[in-house]
Amino acid sequence: MSRAPNYEFQEWWNKQREKNNLEDNSDQPNSPSFHSIDVDNAGGSGAAVSVEKDRARSARQLSWVWLLRFQQIAGSLAWISNGLVILVRTANRRIITSPRADSASSRLYRVIRVFLIVVILLLGFEMVAYFKGWHFRPPSVASADVMGMVGIVYARWIQIRADYLAPPLQSLANLCTVLFLVQTVDRIVLILGCFWIKFRRIKPIASVDYESNAENGGVDVEDYPMVLVQIPMCNEKEVYQQSIGAVCILDWPKEKMLVQVLDDSDEADTQQLIKAEVQKWQQRGIRIIYRHRLIRTGYKAGNLKSAMSCDYVKDYEFVAIFDADFQPTPDFLKKAVPYFKGNDELALVQTRWAFVNKDENLLTRLQNVNLSFHFEVEQQVNGVFINFFGFNGTAGVWRIKALEESGGWLERTTVEDMDIAVRAHLCGWKFVFLNDVKCLCELPETYEAYKKQQHRWHSGPMQLFRLCFVDILRSKVSWAKKANLIFLFFLLRKLILPFYSFTLFCIILPLTMFLPEAELPAWVVCYLPGIMSILSVLPAPRSFPFIVPYLLFENTMSVTKFNAMISGLFRFGSSYEWVVTKKLGRSSEADLVAFGKESESEPLMRSTSLHRSTSDSGIEELSKLELSKKTAKAKRNRLYRKELALAFILLTASVRSLLSAQGIHFYFLLFQGISFLVVGLDLIGEQVS
C-alpha cells in the first residue's frame, strides 16, 4: 500500500529552496550547510568554492613571482655594485702603478680636474634654467624678483658672464684662431712646394754612381771613402739582431767600413745577447766591434760622443747612424754617400723612413699619416729650398768634419739630433734629403710607448730653443735664415701648434658652450680642421678613410704635446728624461729576402761559423727564456687621468651644446669626447704587457 504524499513537507522544501537560491545570488557567506541534499544546488556551491580557491592560488603565485623578481633585481644590483667596486679598485691600482707623473703633468692634471668640477656644476645650473624655460626667455636682474632666489642667481650669472668672463675668452679665442690660420697657411705653402718639386721633378744630383760603375767594373776599392757605421742601443733585445744583421750585409767594401755596436744596456742578459751577435758576425769576416760604457751619462748623445772619441775615428770620413730598430737596405751607402762627392759644403744626407708595421693597428696607421707628411712635405721642401731641416737621429750619413766643427754631440737636451743640426746650420753647412731612399723601421704599437716618444719629441725642441736662442741671434748666417729658425722651425711648428690645438679645442670650445656670449664660429670648429686634415693626409693617399680618426686623434694628442712643450720651456724635471721607445721587433719581407740571399751565397761560411761559435747555444737558450717570459705576461691596458678628465669635460660640454641646439659644435664635442675616452681607457693600439 503506497504511502500518502506529504504536502506539508513539500511546501516547506520548496520555500527553503527558493530562499537558498536567493542567498547564493546575493553572495551570502552564511548559507545553511544541511541544504546539501539538493544535487543541483550542491554542484553550484562547489564551483563557487573552486573559483575562490583559484583566486587564492593566483594571489599566492603572484606574490611568489614578485618575490622572485625582487630577488633578481637585488642580485643584479649586488652584481653591478660589486662590478663598480672592482672597476674603481682596478682603476685606482692602474693609475697608481703607472709611471710617476712629473710636476708639470701633475699641475696640468689638477687644473683639468678643477675645470671638470666647474663644468659639471655649470651644466647642473644650466639644466635647471633649461627646464624653467630661461634659455629662451633669460630673466633680467630687474624682473628676477618674481622668479625666486634661483632666478635672481641665474640673472646675476648672465650679467657676470656677459660683462666679465666672455670678453677675455673671446679675445683668447680670436688669438688662437689667428694662430690656427697662420699654421694653415704654412701647411698650404709646404704642400704647394711639394707639388712644385714633383711637377718639376726636382731631385738632388749625385756626382758619382757607385752602383752602375760597380756593374761596369769602373770603380776601384780605393775610390770608396771610409765609412763608420754606428748602432746605438739600450736594452733593446727585441730588435738588436735585425739591425746588426742588416748593417753587416751593407754592400760596401769590408776594408772601407767599420761597424760600432754602442750598447748602453744595463741588463746583463741583453749585453750577453748583443756580444754573442757581434762575435757571430766577426767570425764571418765583418769588421764590427762591441762597445759598452760603464758610466752611462748623457743618454744617446753621451753614447755617440764616447764612440766618436776613439782614436781610429780620425781614419774615417763619414759616419752613418742607425737606431736599433732600423734596417737599411744593402745598397743604402751606395745611394747616400755619392752626394758628398764634390760637394764640400754638404754635412748631412738624410733618408726617409719606411715602416714595416704601418698597417698593424689604428695607432700605427695614424702615425704613418703624420710621419709621411713630415718626410715627404716638410723635410723634402726644406731640403730643396733652404738646405736645412732637423736631423731625425737615424738613417742618415754625416760628414765627420762637419760634426767636429759644429761642436760634436752635446748632452744638454734629449733631442741631440736637432741640436747638432741647428749648430751645423749656423756654421754654414748644408743638408740633403733623399725621399726615394728608404730605411725600414718600426712604429710604436702601444699608446704608452707613443706617448713617451711624443713627450720627448716636443719637450726637447723647447729645451733647445731656450739654449740656442742667443746663439742664433749672434750667428753669421743671414737674417732670413735666422727668422726661419726662430719663427718657423721653433715657434710655429714646435710651440704654437701644440699651444693653440690644446687651448682652442680642449679649453676654449667647451667654455663657449657655457659662456655663449663668446662665440667660436663653425668654420673654426669644423671646416678649418677638415682642411688641415686633408692637407696632412695628401702624402699618404691610402689613409684617406682614416681622415676623421686622424683629426680627432691629433686633437687628443694635443694634451700630451702641450704638457711636453711646457715642461721643456720651463725646465721641469721630465723634460730631461730619456725613455727608450718600446719596439716589438717585427721583421719585414725585405729582411727575409736579404738574409736568404746571404745564406745562398755563403752557405759554407755560415755553417762553419755556427759550429765554431760557442755562444750560439747560449743565444738560443736566452732567446727561449725571454720568449717564455714574454708569453707569461698578461696584457692589460692602463688608464690615463688627463685624457679621461678631458673626455668628461667635452662630453659635458656636448650636453650643454645640445640644450642650445648647436649642431656642429655638438657633434664635434661628442666625437672628440669619445676620442679622449677611448685613448684614456687605452683602447687604441696594442695593450701594454
List, by residue number, the catalytic residues. 264, 417
∠ CA 306-309-312 to the nearest 5 degrees?
Answer: 125
* Size of the chain in residues: 689
SS3 category, 209:
coil
CA atoms within 13 A on the CB side of 383: 28
CA distance 528 to 184: 8
Q: Cell numbers for 538, please give them.
A: 695628401
User: Phi first, then psi: what are they for 560, rounded to 5°?
Assistant: -65, -45
For residues 75, 80, 81 and 86, what is the CA-based torsion angle, rounded to 10 degrees?
Answer: 130
CA distance 100 to 48: 79
Q: Which of 290, 272, 289, 285 is nearest to 609 (CA)?
A: 285
Q: For residue 53, what are the contacts with CB-CB under 8 A and spacing of at least 6?
A: none
Q: Which of 38, 39, 42 is nearest to 50 (CA)?
A: 42
Q: Cell numbers for 674, please give them.
A: 669619445
CB of 323 closer than 8 Å to CB of 244: no
DSSP state, residue 244: H
CA distance 293 to 295: 5
For residues 303, 305, 306 and 308, what is the CA-based torsion angle, rounded to 10 degrees?
Answer: 120
Determine which helix (DSSP H) or strand (DSSP E) holds 156, and give its type and residue range.
Answer: helix 148-160
DSSP state, residue 29: S
Buried residues in 270-307 as b, exposed as e (16+ CB within 10 A): bbebbbbbbbbbbebebebebbeeeeeebbbbbbbbbb
Q: How many CB atoms lie within 10 A of CB 397?
A: 26
Q: Is the torsion defined by CA of 480, 484, 485, 486 positive or negative?
A: positive
Taking the mean position of all CA atoms in its chain, how far away is CA 274?
31
Q: Which of 197, 227, 191 is nearest to 435 (CA)?
A: 197
CA distance 529 to 523: 8
CA distance 482 to 634: 52
CB of 397 closer than 8 Å to CB of 320: yes
Task: Tell how strand 257-263 and strand 288-292 pair up.
Answer: parallel
Q: Cell numbers for 47, please give them.
A: 564551483
Q: Cell numbers for 541, please give them.
A: 693617399
Indicate the angle between helix axes 416-426 and 447-474, nearest 10 degrees. 20
Percent helix, strand, coil in the chain (nearest 5)? 65, 10, 25
